[in-house]
Structures are given as C-alpha cells and as structure tokens.
Structure 1
Amino acid sequence: MTYTEVQNALDRAVTEHGVPGIVAEIRHGDQSWFGTAGVADLTTGAPRVPGEHLHTGSSGKAFTAATLLTLEAEGRLTLDDTVEHHLPGLLTNGYDGTRITIRHLLSNSSGLFATGLAPEASHRYATRSGYARHHLDQWTREDLLKLAISQPPVFEPGTAFTYSNGGFYLAGAIIEKVTGNSYADEVTRTVIDPLALTHTHVRRPDESGYPHPHPRAYSALFLKDGTDPAAVTPENWQSLMEDPATPPLDVTELNTSLGWSAGDVVSTTTDMIRLISALASGSLLPEQQHHHMWTTISTEGGHWMPYARYGLGVFEFDRDITNGLILRGAGGSLWGSHTCTIATPDGDHAICLHTNTEWKTWDIVFDIVKAEFGKGM
C-alpha cells in the first residue's frame, strides 16, 4: 500500500497554505504509515517526528462527551437531565437551566453563545501585545462558568447549532458535581485508562509546556492593530485578522486553561487514532451510549466546519460528499495547533493529522481525507 497522494497533500499544506509543519499517521488494519512535511522548528529546521506530544484543541470535547456517556451508563445521570438539576441557580442572563439538558450542551444546541468570541477572553489574546501580557494567564473553573453565560442566548434550546465552548464548561462542572472528583480524574478513569492512552493527559491548570518530543507551535491568529475585539463576529472575524504574510509568533509556551472541559488535552497521533477508532466503532461505550454519541444534528448556519453533522463532542461527514462512506471524527484548533482525527465506523481505518499552527483552511483536511479514503470530497 502506497501513500503518495497523502504525502503530496501534506506537501501542499506547507507550500500552498503556509503551514510550518504537518504530520499524518494512518492505520489501516494491521498496516500503519507516518508522513511529514515542513518542520517542527522554524529556527533550527528540525523535522517533525513520530510520537510528538500535541495539543488536541477541541478534540477534548470528545473526551468530555465520552465521560458523561459513561456516567450515564453507570446510572449516575441521564442526557436528558437539565443543567438546573445538577447546577441549581447557575444559569442567569436569560438562560433557563430547566430547559437546557446535558444533551444540548454536548451537541452545541443549547443556545449558549459562541464563547470563543467573548471580549472578556478574546481581548487578552487578540493582538500580539495582548498575547505577550496574558499568554500565561490561568483561568479558574469559576472564571469559565461566568464566561459561558456572559452574553445572552442566541436561540431556544434544541432549535439550532452554535459551536460553544461554554456548553462544555457546564458539562465539565456537571461531571465534577456528580462524581465529586476533578474533571481530569474522571476523564482519566473513564477514557484514558480504559483505552491505555499512555501518552495522553488533561493539562493541569498551571501547565504551559509539553513532554518531549513536541514541535514548536506557531500562530498568526491575531487581529490587526487597533481592532476592538468586541466588534468581532462570526461573520467578520476573518476580515479583521492580520495580513497573512506577517511572520508567525512562537506560542509554544502557552497556558491553555481557557480550554478546560471544552478542550485541554495533550496527546499523540497514535493515541488519538486509538480514541477515535474506539468511539467510532463503539468499542468504548455501551450500545445505547454509542448510539447517543453518533445521533447527529445539522450544523448549517453555525459557522463551523462545512459538510459535517455534529454528534456529542464528535462529527460525521455528510455522506453526500463521501459517496455514502461513513467517516467519523473529532478535531480542534487553538493558537499554534490544529488536530483532526477521522475513522471508519468499524475503527479499522483511521487517520490523524496535526499542524503546528492553528486552522488555516478546511481544504487541508479535505485534501488529505480525499487522498486517503479515495472519495469525492
């Protein structure tokens, strides 16, 4: 089996889209392949290598969803429990905790606003000068729960889709309330340990580095000088960004506690393939919970990835662009890192890709997936 087309797609990510370095690991049956393009370090020119520790961004939402689904299987909660039931009095500012369920939180259909655009957070990192002052700031659980409801609802629960980290902050708080344990401990108990993800961990609140080996992380995700972060919307944010030709900033040393239960997991491509293969195939969760995870909703109008439907912390590509092939996955992006892992429903064929910069374009993902799975994406 050859991977020339995948390698060509990796090369294009560097030459055409300006990615500093990219890797892809593939597992198909008992065969595996690892390919790279670009570099791990722009200063030294060091290559990217297997086994690198990577920030998985919003792929952490899959860990959160799997943890809550395990708690449901254990009889400790149900997906139709309301936020008010577990966190009484927490939701204000127009949110009705008696109408928002755990299922709504995990499917991004709760009506919570797009938390990533909250000025209280974005102003700290929106410009290079702001990033320099705030990149080691530590966010507490209380900070994040306040942030989640700092703007009013954008729709009635269950009626639409908006990608909201805030819903997953609430999900993390419910995990802690129900179990009496930390979010990190429960993710380890229910997901990391059962799957033997030996190079995966939820980051500590004060953590800002990575185990060896790891690539340097580079970001160009900054607003133009003088831009008011409060003016940024899902519709206009791209037009307010810096010139793409501006040299990237090294953001390897970064406190990512802003992610918490919405995505603050460090892993490797090998471990992520093991995770997503298990979630896609149903080998981690009982049948009922597996069905819940992959019951998807439309993301149309939600300013998210095109040609995909959202489950619980995971996505499934629209079958009309894959010639009927079912492809399931999880992904995430933040300053200096973008990860996407995709598998077939039997878990037998999977790919994980990572760039040491944030999301540039969906063309990179679709180009690589098309090269590997050979479908009309």
Structure 2
Amino acid sequence: MKNPLDPADLNAALENVHRAGMPGLFAEVCEGDQVWRGAAGVADVATGSPVTAGLRHRVGSITKTFTAAAVLQQVESGQIGLDTPIGHYLPKLVPGERGDAITVRMLINHTSGLAEYLPYAYPSLKAFPALADTGPQSLDDHRFTRFHPTELIEMGVTAPAAGAPGGTPGLYSNTNYLLLGELLEQVTGTTAEHCITRNVIERAGLRNTELPTGPSVNGPHSRIYEAWFGMIEPPRDYSVYDMSWVGPAASLISTVADLNRFFRLLLAGEIVSPSSLAQMQRTVPVVSQEGKIIDYGLGLHPMAAPGQRTFWGHGGTVWGAGALAMTRADGKRQLSVAVNLQRWNRLDSSGQPQPHPIDAALAALYRVAMYG
C-alpha cells in the first residue's frame, strides 16, 4: 500500500514552487500519527542560506483564529455575549446606532459593515485593493511606526461603511479584529496579547508561537520579501517590522509544526468547547481582500476541492510573508505551509494581478498535501 505521505511527491511539489520563483518555503503535513516536514529554497537571497522546516515565521491573519478562540472562551465563561452589541462593551469606539447594531458575532465573522482601516493608515495604499493606483512607499515609511489600536479602529469606524451590520456578503476587515482585541482587554483587565498568550497559545502547548512586542522575529527565521506586484524590484526584505499595524488581527509568529498542533487541538474541541467550535464552523459569505466571495465562520474558513473532504483553517499574509494552515474536518490530515515572498503577481493594464507560475505550483502543492 502506498504511503499516504509520499515524501517524494511532497518534496517534488515543494521544489516546484521554489522553481516557479518562490525564494523559500517550508511545510509540515500530517496524516494520523505520520508527520512529514520539508523545505525548499533559501532563507536569505543574499547569503543563500537554506530554509529549514523548523523556522519561525510571520503567519499574518492566521492570528484571527487565535483571537476568535480567545473571545469564544470568554463567551463560555459568561464575560462576553456573542450576540451582544459591541456598543455595550466599547461605546466610545463604536458609538451610537452602529454600536447598538453591530454584535460581537458580526465582528468575528466580518459582517459588521465596518471598513478596512489599512488604506487610511498606509496612504500609498489609498486605492487598495485598486492595486494599480497603489505604491509601496508607505511600507517603508511605517517600518518602525508604533500604532495604537484605537487610532486604527477610529480610521475604520469613521470611514464610509462597507455595508449594513449583519448584511451579507460581509467584507473582510481587520478593523473587526482590532475591536475584538480591545473587547478582550475590556473584559479581562489585561492586554489582548496577554489573554491570547495565556489562554490559547500556552493552553495549546505551542512553544514557538508568540505575539511579538518588538519589530524583530525571535529565534531562527527566514528573511521575508515583498514584491508589491513588481513595483519593488528586486523584492525588499521586511523581516524587521513593527507589527502594531495589525496587532491581534495578523501579528502572530509561529512555526508550521505549532500551527498544525493548534488546529488539531482546536478541531478536537480542546481549545474551545465543542459547542463553541460548532459556532466557529457556521459560515456566511464574505468578500475577501482579494475580492473573492468565500465562506467564513468565526475565525475559521472551509476549503475543499470539488468532491473532496472539507478542510478548516486560515491563511495569512503580511509584508513579505505568507502562510496557510488547513486541517481536515476529522482532524486526520493537516497541512501548514509558509512562504517568504508576497505579491509576486504583476498587474495587467486594468490593474488586475496576472497569473504567475507560483500560483499553479502552490495549488498543486495543496492538492498533494491535502489529498495525497
């Protein structure tokens, strides 16, 4: 019988992504008790030092699953009402009628109608996601900027609404998760970072996962390269960056092994209760940052190839780094992968990202890793 984790197939799929133009990537795939880890390419294009499967990495919006889990734990203890208006807890941050209409659930599943603050915090991304009219300048301007979450939240709350509270499709917005961070602080009397660290990261026994306090990644890590749709040539290293611009929405540092462990425990009902997990898996249509409609639950979203089993997890990107973590609904098969280049696609004349060989190679890797 063929090994369900065929090392030759997995190594070849990784190598194909590297050959397609990805400087470096690494992954862990699990099937029951079997574990495969692999890496291809370089962690530093200047020195040529190789990536390895145990590196720490910025995992972007996978942070949202951790934040959602921390909120649901407070729901279980009676500190937060899932369908209570956010104005009940944070009347100054979301005042008036909107504060009365937007519930905690709507923040977690992106149906609040609150706009994304990012284009306001990063002026040269003003037209984001109208990508042709953006530029990478403010990425450098803000490398060491220390944002306070309430100033970012204010940008999102005062911007034109993206929709009516509770309306679908929702709009994926980091403003929602910064508000959830402030909510955790309000009800626990400690910072969101401390709450998530104590109740989620430590509870799951994750030894290489942290919400950073400074701009550097502690421990062995890859450099991460941002191309901004071909406007940064060659792609620039953004591995040192103050992550206060995303905080509890996307600042997490982890490893592929820790991500698989976290999602395995989460889907087994060991981080939140089985009833909370069922709430996390109730999905609504949401417009993603790429402009596609996806199904989104409470910090989780499903992914499946036609006719194949459903996987639950999350993806994430920050400047230069990307990651994806997916676990089959029965918990038996898992993939976590990290890449060290972002926005590799160039734009066509209408400002739309053009297909790139990396896209097809990554899709092939996901198929091999998730379905064997």
Superposition TM-score, scaled by structure 2 size: 0.87
SS in 2 for 1:11: helix
CA distance in 1, matches of 2:148, 2:360: 35
* Identity within the alignment, %: 27
The alpha carbon displacement at 1:89 in A equals: 3.3
- Establish whether residue 140 from structure 1 lines up as the match of residue 143 from structure 2: no
Hey, what does 1:50 align to over in structure 2? 53
- Establish whether residue 87 from structure 1 lines up as the match of residue 93 from structure 2: no
CA RMSD of aligned residues (A): 2.2
Please point out which of 352, 363, 368 is paired with 1:366.
363
Gapped regions of structure 1 (runs ≥ 5): 222-240
The alpha carbon displacement at 1:131 in A equals: 3.2
SS in 1 for 2:160: coil
Residue identity matched to 1:142:
T
- Establish whether residue 19 from structure 1 lines up as the match of residue 22 from structure 2: yes
The alpha carbon displacement at 1:282 in A equals: 2.2
After superposition, the C-alpha distances for 1:58-93 in whole angstroms (9 at most, x for unaligned) are 11000110000000111111210111010013225x
Hey, what does 1:179 align to over in structure 2? 188
After superposition, the C-alpha distances for 1:322-342 in whole angstroms (9 at most, x for unaligned) are 414011111100111101001
Gapped regions of structure 2 (runs ≥ 5): 127-133, 345-357
Hey, what does 2:131 align to over in structure 1? none
The alpha carbon displacement at 1:286 in A equals: 0.8
Please point out which of 150, 158, 164 is paired with 1:150.
158
Residue identity matched to 2:262:
L
Residue identity matched to 1:123:
S
Hey, what does 1:120 align to over in structure 2? 121
Residue identity matched to 1:294:
Q
Hey, what does 1:236 align to over in structure 2? none
CA distance in 2, matches of 1:324, 1:282: 23
SS in 2 for 1:139: coil
Residue identity matched to 1:309:
D
SS in 2 for 1:153: coil
After superposition, the C-alpha distances for 1:198-236 in whole angstroms (9 at most, x for unaligned) are 1111111xx111122101111112xxxxxxxxxxxxxxx
The alpha carbon displacement at 1:171 in A equals: 0.8
Note the 1:93-242 alignment, pairs <5 A: 96-116=98-118, 118-123=119-124, 127-160=135-168, 161-204=170-213, 207-221=214-228, 241-242=229-230
Hey, what does 1:227 align to over in structure 2? none
Verify the 8 A CA contact 1:315 1:329 in the aligned structure 2: yes
CA distance in 2, matches of 1:78, 1:365: 40
CA distance in 1, matches of 2:208, 2:370: 27
Please point out which of 328, 331, 335 is paired with 1:347.
331
Verify the 8 A CA contact 1:296 1:309 in the aligned structure 2: yes
Cα distance change, pair 66–21 in 1 and its aligned pair in 2 (3 A): same
Cα distance change, pair 202–302 in 1 and its aligned pair in 2 (3 A): closer
